[in-house]
């Protein structure tokens, strides 16, 4: 007899270790969340995690109050501005960000049993940086982005999409008098997420998973000597 989906789900193993890296503690992590994240991202890259730079971005649709999530690629990270991603300026997530810049990002590196959650505000970068990001994209992804007329709008048929791709390619080549191909940039945005809270979670084989949270230090924290580089690190119950 075939097992029910519920049974099949219960029988699926979750990663039980052994985990290759030591569990985090407030004192073992660097003093800022960006530095700690860079260490963990580096661990994920070194361990050969597939798409370690893939993240889930959650936004809020202010018209319904219902959150929305999708996977994106991390484009850059710096301590001054935070986690950066690039999106179309005419799709649902851009509209959601216009209505409410509050976001959550989530990274999961299954091979290492690690998750990082970031909550903060998304701030749009300058047009120059958006152009630089667009120019740095591979040709195929420029063509695909330019061919997608209004991202996430209903597409009548795949022929329509193919026709749009052909038009982008022929226009790009025709407009090129100097021999350099130019693909028309669609509405394009790059955002940086300035964090308010960042949590590092690591699976433990005894299920007592370790969690360390960074939160912005408040006045009392500093007086108590707990704030370091403007951040307080604390353990959380699993």
Ligand X SMILES: Cc1cc2nc3c(=O)[nH]c(=O)nc-3n(C[C@H](O)[C@H](O)[C@H](O)COP(=O)(O)O)c2cc1C
Per CB under 6 A, residues contacting ligand X are 51, 54, 68, 70-73, 85-88, 91-93, 151-152
Whichever of 152 and 164 has its CB closer to ligand X, that residue is 152
Whichever of 58 and 204 has its CB closer to ligand X, that residue is 58
Least spacing, CB of residue 75 vs ligand X, in Å: 7
The DSSP code sequence of 108-159 is: EEGGGTEEEEEEEEEEE--HHHHHHHHHTS-HHHHHHHHH-SSTTSPP--HH
Whichever of 45 and 73 has its CB closer to ligand X, that residue is 73
Least spacing, CB of residue 95 vs ligand X, in Å: 8
Q: Tell which residue, 176, 151, 178, has the closest CA to residue 164.
A: 151
The DSSP code sequence of 190-211 is: EEEEEEEEEEEEE--TTS--EE
Least spacing, CB of residue 57 vs ligand X, in Å: 8
Spatial contact of 77 and 84, defined as CB atoms under 8 Å apart: yes
Q: What share of the chain is helix, strand, coil (3-state, %, to 5)?
A: 30, 30, 40
Q: What angle do CA 230, 236, 238 make, to 5 degrees?
A: 155
Whichever of 31 and 152 has its CB closer to ligand X, that residue is 152
Helices (H) and strands (E) in the chain, counts: 7, 9
Least spacing, CB of residue 100 vs ligand X, in Å: 14
Whichever of 30 and 92 has its CB closer to ligand X, that residue is 92
Least spacing, CB of residue 186 vs ligand X, in Å: 11
């Amino acid at each position: 007899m075939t097992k029910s989906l519920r049974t099949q789900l219960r029988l699926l193993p979750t990663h039980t270790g052994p985990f290759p890296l030591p569990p985090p503690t407030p004192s073992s992590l660097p003093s800022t969340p960006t530095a700690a994240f860079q260490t963990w991202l580096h661990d994920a890259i070194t361990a050969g995690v597939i798409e370690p730079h893939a993240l889930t971005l959650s936004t809020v649709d202010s018209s319904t109050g219902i959150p929305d999530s999708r996977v994106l690629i991390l484009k850059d990270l710096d301590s001054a501005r935070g986690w950066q991603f690039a999106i179309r300026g005419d799709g649902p997530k851009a509209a959601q960000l216009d209505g409410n810049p509050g976001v959550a990002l989530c990274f999961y590196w299954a091979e290492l049993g690690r998750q990082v959650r970031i909550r903060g505000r998304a701030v749009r970068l300058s047009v120059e940086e958006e152009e630089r990001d667009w120019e740095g994209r591979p040709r195929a992804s420029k063509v695909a982005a330019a061919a997608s007329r209004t991202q996430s709008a209903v597409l009548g048929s795949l022929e329509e999409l193919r026709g749009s791709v052909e038009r982008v390619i022929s226009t790009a080549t025709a407009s090129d008098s100097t021999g350099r191909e130019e693909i028309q940039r669609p509405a394009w945005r790059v955002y940086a997420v300035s964090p308010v809270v960042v949590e590092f979670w690591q699976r433990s084989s005894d299920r007592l998973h370790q969690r360390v949270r960074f939160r912005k230090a408040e006045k009392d924290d500093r007086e108590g000597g707990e704030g370091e580089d403007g951040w307080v690190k604390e353990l959380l119950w699993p």
